Structure 1
Amino acid sequence: MNRPTNPLSPKAKKERIDSLASSAGGPRADADTATDIAVRDVQVSDAGSVGEDEGVSLWRSAWHRLRRNVIFLIGAAIVVAFLVLSIIAPWIAPHDPSARLLIGEVSRQANPVPLPQPGFPLGADDRGRDVLSRLIVGSRQTLMVGVLATLGGLVGGVTLGTLAGAFGGWVDAAVMRVVDVLLSIPSLLMAFTIAAMFARPSQWTLITAIAIVQIPIFARLLRGSMLAQRRSDHVVAATALGVKKAPIVFRHMLPNSIGPVIVQATLVLATAIIDAAALSFLGLGNPDDRMPEWGQMLGQSQQYFNTFPHLAYYPALCIIVVALGFTLVGESLREALDPKSRR
C-alpha cells in the first residue's frame, strides 16, 4: 500500500510557516508597539485616584436612616420626655404625692373624690392626694420597674443563649427544652404565678416575676444568632488557627450576635411596663401607696370607675403613651438594622 507523499519538503514547510508568521505578526507587532508608546505617554496623575472615604458601620448606617424616619423621631421624643420626667419628677411635682391636702373635702356620701380646682388641675384621689403630683412621681417608679425587669431578663437570656449557641450538643438541647417550657406558658399568667408565690408582694416581686418571663425571649433570639455565627468564615478560620473556645465566643461570636438582642430589649421594655401595670392592678405590686406607680394608681381607681373614671384615664393614658414610644423606637431600630426589612 503506497503512502501519500507530502508535496512540500521540510525546507518549504519552514519557509511557509515563516511567511505566515511574518504576515500575521507584522501588523500586530506594529499595534503592540503603538500601544506601548501610548501607555508610556500616559502620566500616573492621569490615571485618577481611589477615594479615601472610610467604610460605614452597620450602626452608623442605621443611624443615617433613623434620622429621616418620622416614626422613630416620634418614639424617641416620647421616650426622652419620659426619661427626663422620671429624673426630675421630685423637683417639678407641685405637691407631695403622699400628702392628703384635700382630705377635708372628701365625703363618702356626697363627694368622695375632689374634682379639679385651683392648684389641683387634675383633682385628687379618694384620700385627698394630688393626682398630677402622683402621676409625675409615679413615672420614676414605673421606669425603674421596667428597666430593672428588662435588665434582669436580658442578663439571664444572654447567659442561657450564650451557653446554648456556643457549645451546642447536649448543652443546647437542655437549655432549649427549659426555654420551650417557659415559652409554652402565657407570659402574663406565668408572671402572675411567680409574683403570687412570694409571701408579701412588693416592688421587687414585680421586677423578679417580669424578668423571669423575659429570659426565654432573649435566650432563643441570641441562640439563633450565635448558631449562625458558628458557621461564619471568621469563626471557622479562628478555630482552624487553634484559637481557644472562650476568645472565639466572647470576641467574635457574642459581639456580632448581640445587636438583635439589644433591639429586642427596647420592645420588651414596653411589654415590661404593661405587665408591671397589670400585676399592680391585680394587687401583686407594691402595697405601699406612698410611692405611687401608674399600675398601682390604675388598680386603686377601679372602685370609682363608674362615677369618677378620670382617676383611671390618666394613669392608663400615661402607660399607653410610654409603651407606644418604646415600641416605635424598637420597631424602627429593627427595620434599620435588618437588611431584609430596610426601606
Structure 2
Amino acid sequence: MSPANPFDRRKQRIDDLAAGSARPSGRGTASGGAAVAVDDAGAVDESPGVSLIASAWRRLRRDPVFLVGAAITIAFIVLAVISPWIAPHDPDARLLIDQVRRQSNPIPGPQPGFPLGGDDKGRDLLSRLLVGSQQTLIVGVAATLLGLAGGLVLGILAGAIGGGVDSFVMRAVDVLLSIPSLLLAVSIAALAREPSQWTVIVAIAVVQVPVFARLLRGSMLAQRSSDHVLAARALGVKRRAIVFRHMLPNSLGPVIVQTTLVLATSIIDAAALSFLGLGNPDDAKPEWGQMLGRAQQYIIEYPHLAVYPALCIILVALGFTLMGESLREALDPKSRK
C-alpha cells in the first residue's frame, strides 16, 4: 500500500531506486520500478551524430511538398534534355501549312499525328512545346548562373573586406533593389541594338545579382565573428585563406537554397521579356514566352495557343518554388521540429 502523502511517495520511490541499484541482478524492485545502476545514472547516449545535410535529407524525403516539387523539376529537366529526340516533328517544319486559311481557318486543329494541332504557320504545336522546354531551361539556368557569379563577387567583396568597399557595394545594390525587377530587366533588354536570347539572359542576370550579393554578404558578416574565424586570425592565417577556406564555404548554404527559388523567377521573367518582344525574334527555335507572345492575336478564337505554354511555365515555376521553400525550411535551424 503506497503512502497517501506526496512527500512520502517521493521518498518511497527514492528508497526503492536505491535498493534496486544495490542489487547485483539489476532486476526490478518489489514496487515494480526498474532498477537503475548508479554508474549508469546521467549517462549520455553515444550514438553517432548526424550532419546538417543528412539531417535535412531525412526531413525532405518525408516532406510531400518537396517530393512534388522535385518530381516536377526532374521531369522538366529530363524532358528538356531529350526533347529534340522525342518531338514527333521538326518544330519549324510547316507540315500543316496547306490547312491554314487566313480568313476561315488560320489555326489547324488536332488531328492524327498532331494531337494539339498546329500554329498559324502550320507547325506542330506539341513539338514546339517540347523543344521550347529546352530553350526555357537554357535561358533560366544561364541567367541564374550569371547572376549567381556576379552576386558572389560583390558579396565576397562586401562581406570579406568591409569598410568603404562594403558601403560602396551595398549602396549600388540598394539602388538596383529599389527598381522593380521586371522594369529593370525590360530597361536593360531594351538597350540592346537587336533583341536576342543573350539579351534576355543578361537582363535577367543583372536583376538577380543584388539578391545574391546581399544574401551572401549577410552570411559572411555572421561568419566573421564566429569562433573558428577568430581562432584562424589569432593563429596568423592569411585573410585570403580565411575568406575562401572558412567564411565562404560556410556561407553558401542560404545562397544555394536561394538559387532554386531564383530559377523559378528567371523562367517567369524570361517568358515576360519574350512575350514583350524583347527576346529572340527568330521563332525557328521556340521558347514558351515567345509562343505566348505570338498567341496574342488568336487569344479569343484559339485560346489553347496561349493556355498550353502558360500552363507549362506555371507548372515548372511551381516545381522550383516548392523545392526551394522545402530546402530553406529543412536547412534553417529555427524551423526544425
Instruction: State the TM bucket, normalised to the shorter chain.
Output: 0.7 to 0.9
- The equivalent residue for 1:169 is 163
What secondary structure sits across from 1:268 in the alignment?
Answer: helix
Output the CA distance in 2 between the equivalents of 1:289 and 1:47: 78
Output the CA distance in 1 between the equivalents of 2:53 and 2:292: 39
Output the CA distance in 2 between the equivalents of 1:159 and 1:63: 29
Output the CA distance in 2 between the equivalents of 1:227 and 1:241: 20
- The equivalent residue for 1:328 is 322
Output the CA distance in 2 between the equivalents of 1:50 and 1:173: 48
Q: Is residue 2:284 matched to residue 1:290? A: yes
- The equivalent residue for 1:119 is 113
Q: Is residue 2:175 matched to residue 1:181? A: yes
Output the CA distance in 2 between the equivalents of 1:146 and 1:342: 31
Within the candidate set 95, 102, 111, 1:101 is matched to: 95
Q: How does 1:1-343 map to 2 (within 5 A)?
A: 53-343=47-337
> For 1:152-177, what per-residue CA distance to the aligned partner results, in whole angstroms no more than 9, with x for missing partners?
00000011001100011101001000
What secondary structure sits across from 1:260 in the alignment?
Answer: helix
Output the CA distance in 2 between the equivalents of 1:50 and 1:188: 55
Output the CA distance in 2 between the equivalents of 1:273 and 1:140: 12
- Alpha-carbon deviation of 1:340? 1.5
Output the CA distance in 1 between the equivalents of 2:191 and 2:56: 43
> For 1:155-209, what per-residue CA distance to the aligned partner results, in whole angstroms no more than 9, with x for missing partners?
0001100110001110100100000000000000000000010000000000000
Output the CA distance in 1 between the equivalents of 2:123 and 2:187: 32
Output the CA distance in 2 between the equivalents of 1:292 and 1:54: 53
Question: Which stretch has the larger CA shift, 131-140 or 54-63?
Answer: 54-63
- Alpha-carbon deviation of 1:241? 1.1
Output the CA distance in 1 between the equivalents of 2:192 and 2:52: 44
Q: Which has a greater percent of helix? A: 1
Output the CA distance in 1 between the equivalents of 2:161 and 2:189: 33
Output the CA distance in 1 between the equivalents of 2:49 and 2:135: 43
> For 1:118-170, what per-residue CA distance to the aligned partner results, in whole angstroms no more than 9, with x for missing partners?
11111100000000000000000000000000000000001100110001110
Letter in 2 for 1:61: S
Letter in 1 for 2:257: V
Letter in 2 for 1:317: L
> For 1:298-334, what per-residue CA distance to the aligned partner results, in whole angstroms no more than 9, with x for missing partners?
0000010011000000000000000000000000000
Output the CA distance in 1 between the equivalents of 2:48 and 2:260: 30
- The equivalent residue for 1:7 is none
- The equivalent residue for 2:11 is none
Letter in 1 for 2:309: P
Letter in 1 for 2:307: Y
Letter in 2 for 1:216: P
- Alpha-carbon deviation of 1:51? 6.0
Give the count of matched residue pairs: 299
- The equivalent residue for 2:31 is none
- The equivalent residue for 1:23 is none
Q: What TM-score do the two structures reach when normalised by structure 2? A: 0.87
Output the CA distance in 2 between the equivalents of 1:330 and 1:173: 30
What secondary structure sits across from 2:104 in the alignment?
Answer: coil
Letter in 2 for 1:260: P
- Alpha-carbon deviation of 1:232? 0.5
Output the CA distance in 2 between the equivalents of 1:123 and 1:253: 55
Identity, % of aligned pairs?
74
